[in-house]
Structure 1
Amino acid sequence: MGFFEKIKTIFTDIKIQHTVFALPFAVMSAFLAAEGVPELGTLAWILMAMFGARNGAMAFNRIADSKLDRLNPRTKGRALPAGNATAKQYWFFLIVSSVVFLFSAFMLNSLAFILSPVALGIVFGYSFAKRFTSLSHLWLGVAISIAPVGAWVAVREEISIESLILGAAVVFWLVG
């Protein structure tokens, strides 16, 4: 299998189509923070940041769960446990995705860049939270709430009460 086939396998495995799940929260927040239409460049970097963070988090999750996935009939067909991709390929994909996220944050503003490692820590942390807490959906909600808070930071270079309310709404929506 060639390079592009491996990338396609990873994209399929991490369900790249689900990347759009958190996009509405980020886009809505960007429009609210801008009090209208945000600058096109800002919106583009927000979308790139979302793409990088989400895909990096999914790759990390697949790496973290690969041994458990081998034992689970529902997940043993995923690319890593099935042998359709290697951990090295996933780590490469994870690093590239994380660099895309970090560079996008850098291009947005200094606060976005300063907070970007914290955001990655939270989204990567979900992969382990589900092993030690019954509140993993709360962790996932916080991870997804980074989208509206981060988009607000991208537009205004501040964390405001409004952005935190948007983030809390996402957490409560996800947790139910």
Structure 2
Amino acid sequence: MTGTEQTPEPTGQVADAVKDNWVDTYAPQGLRPYLRLSRADRPIGSWLLLLPCWWGVLLAMVHDGEMRLFDLWIIVGCAIGAVLMRGAGCTWNDITDRDFDGRVERTASRPIPSGQVTVKQALAWAVLQCLISFAILITFPPMAILLGVIALIPVAIYPFAKRFTWWPQVFLGVAFNWGALLAWTAHTGSLSLPAVLLYLSGMAWTLFYDTIYAHQDTEDDALIGVKSTARLFAENTPRYLAWFMVLTVALMGMAVVAAAPDGEILQMVILLTGPWAMGWHLMWQLRRLKMDDNDRLLELFRSNRDAGLIPVLFFAASLFA
């Protein structure tokens, strides 16, 4: 994102939206405020919610040594559900944060503080997205359905976390990586150690990328009393990010070892290359980090789509080894 994108346009475009995004270019005028509530003009969040789902289902397929037609529906259903639940979560976040958002330069142009939609309209939009997501969820096995319902708890709590803890990114990690547990369980019918390790890996990754993201707002957050790991770590952020990077790679590697069948050497090499290569991407981000450059911070944050796709590609490739 360039510096010229920081000023909201008269059309209602949100300040940090992707330039020439489809919402502000092609979507019907009346639907645009609602799509902006769902961050459809900023798709990176949907990717970050989706990728742990794909890690989970692919590693479950490796663990069981079989691919079924239903796995394709898990992959597609998780993709649709990630867009919808990310949209519902962002809408809920904007409802709860409407007073804060109006006092922060980067978020003042969001639909609620800018007057594009009312709180009641936003709440109805959130409920609609949840209902459609639930219709997808009930096509999964019972244990996965239960996990999907439980996932609403951290989603509901997260917007309030920055008011009472310096670690709101932990709550985001709990919510955003739940799909690793759900998708694994949708394939296997039960929860087991590899899924939990994969989930913890995703939480470490969330701490990595969302701390980078939060550095965009440290000055405004300090003025209004909002807490974050970015404010907590301050100039020590690179050191903490390095630890989160190591945890991400180590925990994902442990998940691979726990999931992979014994004796499949080539498959194991391909699988372990996923977290190893992802670690190099995180290292690249760390080396390019400039905490006083908001354009760079947003660029690095968005690059985590590619970082998270790396294990997806290697996990998928290992199925054919």
Same fold (TM over 0.5): yes
**Aligned-partner residue type, residue 137 of structure 2:** A
Per the TM alignment, residue 8 of structure 1 is displaced from its structure 2 partner at its CA by 2.0
1:8 corresponds in structure 2 to 32
Check the 8 A contact 1:52/1:99 in 2, yes or no. Answer: no
Check the 8 A contact 1:45/1:108 in 2, yes or no. Answer: no
1:162 corresponds in structure 2 to 194
Q: Using the alignment, how far apart are the partners of 1:96 and 1:14 within structure 2?
A: 12
Identity %: 22
Q: Which has the higher contact order (CA 8 A, sep 6+)?
A: 1
Per the TM alignment, residue 73 of structure 1 is displaced from its structure 2 partner at its CA by 2.7
Q: Quick check: 1:26 aligned with 2:18?
A: no
Check the 8 A contact 1:46/1:154 in 2, yes or no. Answer: no
Q: Using the alignment, how far apart are the partners of 2:83 and 2:141 within structure 1?
A: 18
Following superposition, which runs of at least 4 residues in structure 1 exceed 6 angstroms of deviation?
A: none
Per the TM alignment, residue 53 of structure 1 is displaced from its structure 2 partner at its CA by 1.8
1:100 corresponds in structure 2 to 132
The number of equivalent residue pairs is 174
Q: Using the alignment, how far apart are the partners of 2:103 and 2:57 within structure 1?
A: 42
Check the 8 A contact 1:6/1:85 in 2, yes or no. Answer: no
Per the TM alignment, residue 47 of structure 1 is displaced from its structure 2 partner at its CA by 2.0
1:42 corresponds in structure 2 to 74
Q: Using the alignment, how far apart are the partners of 1:128 and 1:25 within structure 2?
A: 24
Give 5+ residue unaligned stretches, structure 1.
none
Structure whose alpha-carbon radius of gyration is higher: 2
Per the TM alignment, residue 4 of structure 1 is displaced from its structure 2 partner at its CA by 4.4
Check the 8 A contact 2:74/2:183 in 1, yes or no. Answer: no
Give 5+ residue unaligned stretches, structure 2.
1-26, 208-243, 245-321
Per the TM alignment, residue 74 of structure 1 is displaced from its structure 2 partner at its CA by 2.6
**Aligned-partner residue type, residue 122 of structure 1:** P
Check the 8 A contact 1:52/1:101 in 2, yes or no. Answer: yes
Per the TM alignment, residue 163 of structure 1 is displaced from its structure 2 partner at its CA by 0.4
Q: Using the alignment, how far apart are the partners of 2:92 and 2:37 within structure 1?
A: 12
Q: Using the alignment, how far apart are the partners of 1:73 and 1:94 within structure 2?
A: 24
Per the TM alignment, residue 95 of structure 1 is displaced from its structure 2 partner at its CA by 0.4
Check the 8 A contact 1:63/1:90 in 2, yes or no. Answer: yes
Task: Show CA shifts across 1:26-45 (max 9, x none).
Answer: 11211111226552222222
Q: Using the alignment, how far apart are the partners of 2:186 and 2:87 within structure 1?
A: 19
Check the 8 A contact 2:81/2:136 in 1, yes or no. Answer: yes
Higher helix share: 1
Q: Quick check: 1:124 aligned with 2:156?
A: yes
Q: Quick check: 1:62 aligned with 2:89?
A: no
